[in-house]
């Protein structure tokens, strides 16, 4: 049910994002989803990749600071209010969304959203109990 995400800490200067994508592309690693958040001095690039282990290895070899986090990929009804329904389930159960970002592709008639919750295991149980589909890592890595 969990998806492995890597985070790359980048200096906030021209070309650093290109450097990461060049390293990944040169190693044959495909980016499935990404999010970039920045501050004045640095950025955090969050990536879902088809081969996280290899990505961590090649990025570290090229001088990048890399971390690993588990997230959840959730099917969200692709209609007005679809995301609100899931967020209300989390709200009603006291689960905080730390961050989220959209996935690049749809799964059937639904969108896919990547979530990082403060209580990951509890969130999985709550989503399952509400009948909300959580995608496996294998499903995400191969889309």
What pairs with residue 97 in β-bridges? 117
For 2-70, CATH number out of 3.20.20.140, 3.30.2130.10, 1.10.580.10, 3.10.129.10 equals 3.30.2130.10
pTM: 0.87
Beta strand 97-102 pairing with 42-49:
unpaired
**Is the pLDDT at 19 greater than 60, yes or no?**
yes
pLDDT for the residue numbered 109:
73
Helix axes 16-26, 52-61, angle to 10 degrees: 120
CATH superfamily of this structure's domain 73-133 = ACT domain (3.30.70.260)
Parse the chain into domains and list their residue ranges: 2-70, 73-133
pLDDT (tens digit per residue) in 66-121: 999 999 999 998 889 999 999 999 999 999 999 999 875 655 678 899 999 999 99
Cβ atoms of 133 and 108 within 8 Å: the answer is: no
């Amino acid at each position: 049910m969990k998806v492995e995400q890597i985070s790359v800490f980048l200096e906030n200067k021209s070309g650093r994002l290109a450097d990461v994508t060049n390293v990944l592309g040169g190693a044959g690693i495909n980016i499935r989803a990404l999010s970039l958040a920045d501050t004045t001095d640095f950025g955090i690039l969050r990536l879902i990749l088809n081969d996280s282990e290899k990505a961590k290895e090649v990025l570290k070899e090229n001088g990048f600071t890399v971390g690993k986090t588990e997230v959840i990929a959730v099917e969200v009804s692709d209609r007005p209010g679809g995301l609100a329904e899931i967020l209300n389930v989390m709200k009603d159960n006291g689960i905080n969304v730390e961050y989220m970002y959209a996935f690049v592709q749809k799964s059937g008639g639904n969108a896919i959203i990547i979530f990082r919750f403060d209580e990951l295991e509890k969130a999985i149980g709550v989503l399952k109990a509400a009948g909300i589909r959580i995608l496996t890592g294998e499903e995400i890595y191969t889309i």
